[in-house]
Structure 1
């Protein structure tokens, strides 16, 4: 069982599983060449690849897009944002998937308008990952210059990601976001165990970065 493996063994298992998604590996390789500050490939493409392998589906099944997050708080202009998007569009051209690259230093500029709750400025990409609506989402991977995989996983892997558990993380995203996402995920992966949003949301302490 994954939960009985050491942390090093869990990380090795994660790399082995994610490597079966050839699109994901290609996104990692191409993103590494962009030189984006503090970047991670994150969110659905990671834990959904695990879900697919665990349930004997094709590794890319049901994955809407591949999210690349970076962090640059030196220039929050539209022009800088568009430059990142254009560079990503060029880098990922020809891949059989939608890849979105976004500067997470800008989240506080648009989050309230989209989701109805204020978001304080994030200090790093990891802080954005900490605030995802479900704990299984709190996962990021990038390639270091020496081609070593760097994995950010403040909630760990065994409890939720490998066990197909979706647990709410009520630190920022509203309940409606969590329930909308989990409804869609249940349709694609009925094997999931989806936990209810707490009746009185309690704040979880983000991991230090």
Structure 2
């Protein structure tokens, strides 16, 4: 008998958190990225975006852990250095550390995002002072979860809105975070990969 993919909607938070951690860590590439990032010791870092929430979708729907994961978004937040050169130096160091991983790892100083996001995507962002701030600014609450290793190497989650929305398998846009055109194009791609999930379009 197939399991209900929405079986953990409104489950106890501890059970949801354990599921997310197991889902991400079951992907060998995500696990390797986390372990290497821990060694880099970046300020206020976390693995976020599709590598996290898509791992959960895959585990809930019985797919391989890395199904549909195009890249691995490794965020860090350093408000003390908003220079492009400073970020480039971190990216170069990270590229060397991740050279043995057969996947694209994108490294970004989240504190710099408001400097360029509006010009690129047409929506201005408020100042970001922490990785949790960045997670709060995702285009859907479903996406608002990240994972990192603590000082002792244990996985910990950043989920400022909780996890019920993620486990509901209903993906709704947050108003004024993304343009309708960008949002609808993104969910159109994802709907083809995860037809079990309900994707809500943004009004044009």
Task: Tell me if TM exceeds 0.5.
Answer: yes
After superposition, the C-alpha distances for 1:102-161 in whole angstroms (9 at most, x for unaligned) are 10111111111101122232121111111111111100111001122221112222x332
Equivalent of 2:31, from 8, 25, 47?
25
Please say if residues 134 and 178 of structure 1, whose CA atoms lie closer than 8 Å, have aligned partners that are also in contact: no
The separation in 2 between residues aligned to 1:21 and 1:163, in whole angstroms, is 22
The answer for the alignment partner of 1:74 in structure 2 is 80
How do 1:155-194 residues align onto structure 2 when only pairs under 5 Å count? Answer: 155-157=161-163, 159-194=164-199
**Structure-2 separation of matches of 1:19 and 1:155:** 22
Which of 1 and 2 has higher RCO (CA within 8 Å, sep 6+)?
2
Quick check: 2:147–2:157 contact (8 Å CA) kept in 1?
yes
Question: CA RMSD, aligned part only?
Answer: 1.6
Are 2:138 and 2:177, in contact at CA under 8 Å, matched by a contact in 1?
yes
- How many residues align? The count is 198
Cα shift at 1:4: 4.9
Distance 1:18 1:107 in 2: 25
**Map of 2:137 onto structure 1:** 131
**Which is worse superposed, 34-43 or 117-126?**
117-126
- TM-score where L is the length of structure 2: 0.90
Question: What are structure 1's unaligned runs of at least 5 residues?
Answer: 200-209
Q: 1:109 aligns with which of 112, 115, 119?
A: 115
The alignment's TM-score, normalised by the length of structure 1, stands at: 0.88
